Amino acid sequence: MFVLKILLWPLAVLYDAVTRVRNYLFDIGRKPSFEFETFVINVGNLSVGGTGKTPHVELLINLLADRFKVATLSRGYGRKSKGFLIADKNSSATLLGDEPMQFYYKFGEKVTVTVGEERAYAIPCILHEREDTQIILLDDAYQHRYVKPNINILLSDYTRPFYSDWVLPAGRLRESRSGAKRADAVIVTKCPESLSAAEQEAICTEVRRYAGEEKPVYFTYVNYLKPQSVFDKFADIPKKIVFFAGIANPLAVIEKLGREYDLLEAVRFSDHHAFSIKDVKQLTGKAKALGRDVALLTTEKDMVRLLAPEFADMLKDIPFFYIPIEVKFLEGKQKFEDWILKSVYSKYSSDKF
């Protein structure tokens, strides 16, 4: 791996130079950044995938949607549609992408779920279609600098922090570590629940070398909830399972399932994998061959891709479950929530609510 990084280093230097010039042009105003009257919060990262953006957007939805009119805006990675779309009862992961479809599946009409490649164009579309929108949550738009958010939240994976990574293709960073200075707060994600205060302080020191000395740093971990039946046909998941996932890094959930269930097999697909009829036939075949008391279990993000009728008909007669997740703070939850709410309220006059 080290030799490969050395070989890729010239390309990484070139990539770094291009992204630095691009960021400089935004910094000096040669490239425009648009601000909107509606409050905009961005949740993003410096690296390519796998930092837990989706559950952190859901955390913000749970905090804000009972108080304000909230919309989410995602690019809709992997969708087979183009342009701006608003989720409705006829939507699918094919049209929206898996993560926006997960928002809609979980929250329904409680929030306005939208997709659009060009965020600076999509935001006016949201405000035209939903005039009462008060907050827009941008999913994975840290490098999309044509929109200037009111709050910019940077996520960094505990197992691969940005401050020890390198730019593409030698590493996984989309831009240099110095991009962290644009963040208003940094959240270190996927931490072990036992992370000590000393290690937290050491991580804060490394983060602030790039983000700035006064930037708040929070730590979250993944909480796995009770598996849910997709078609409400089976009350409880059997002990014997076949797990499959098309996410960036499924190792943590595989290890957890191995401790709590009789994990007969773990099938890995690429991130955002577009499941085919062949894939589903193979998965259901594995489960049936292993016995009647064997369940198929997947992630929430993968599950929403399999709600299409052609897949549902194949899966409805076997135990098919998904495992929901949520993120929790090691500490500082109240401080984080107070900061978000104070920022939103300070944007608007009290008569707007």
Q: What is the mean pLDDT of the chain?
A: 93
Which pLDDT tens digit goes with each residue over 183-226?
999 999 999 999 999 999 999 999 999 999 999 999 999 999 99
**Mean pLDDT along residues 235-259:** 92
Domains and CATH numbers, the chain: 29-222+329-352 (3.40.50.300), 228-323 (3.40.50)
Asked if residue 353 has pLDDT above 70, the reply is no
Q: Kindly report the pTM of this predicted structure.
A: 0.93
* pLDDT at residue 349, as a whole number: 63
Start-to-end C-alpha separation, the chain: 55
* pLDDT at residue 1, as a whole number: 59
Find the farthest-apart pair of alpha carbons in the chain and give their distance in angstroms, rounded.
64
Which pLDDT tens digit goes with each residue over 119-174?
999 999 999 999 999 999 999 999 999 999 999 999 999 999 999 999 999 999 99
Q: Where does residue 214 rank: exposed (0-12), middle (13-18), buried (19+ CB within 10 A)?
A: exposed
8-17, 99-108, 300-309: range with highest mean pLDDT: 99-108
Write down how long the chain is: 353
* pLDDT at residue 2, as a whole number: 63
DSSP 208-226: HHHH-TT--EEEEEEEE--
Which pLDDT tens digit goes with each residue over 126-135?
999 999 999 9
Write 29-38 long-range contacts (CB < 8 A, 24+): 31/145, 31/146, 32/146, 33/145, 33/146, 33/147, 33/148, 34/120, 34/123, 34/146, 34/147, 34/148, 35/148, 36/123, 36/127, 36/136, 36/147, 38/123, 38/127, 38/133, 38/134, 38/135, 38/136
Asked if residue 269 has pLDDT above 50, the reply is yes
* pLDDT at residue 72, as a whole number: 98
Asked if residue 351 has pLDDT above 70, the reply is no
What is the β-pairing status of strands 39-45 and 217-224? unpaired
Which pLDDT tens digit goes with each residue over 280-299?
999 999 999 998 889 999 99
**Mean pLDDT along residues 91-97:** 93
The residue type found at 186 is V
Q: Could you tell me the pLDDT band of residue 78, with boundaries at 50, 70 and 90?
A: confident
Q: Which residues pair with 224 in a beta bridge?
A: 325
CB 331 within 8 A of CB 221: no
Q: Could you tell me the pLDDT band of residue 235, with boundaries at 50, 70 and 90?
A: confident
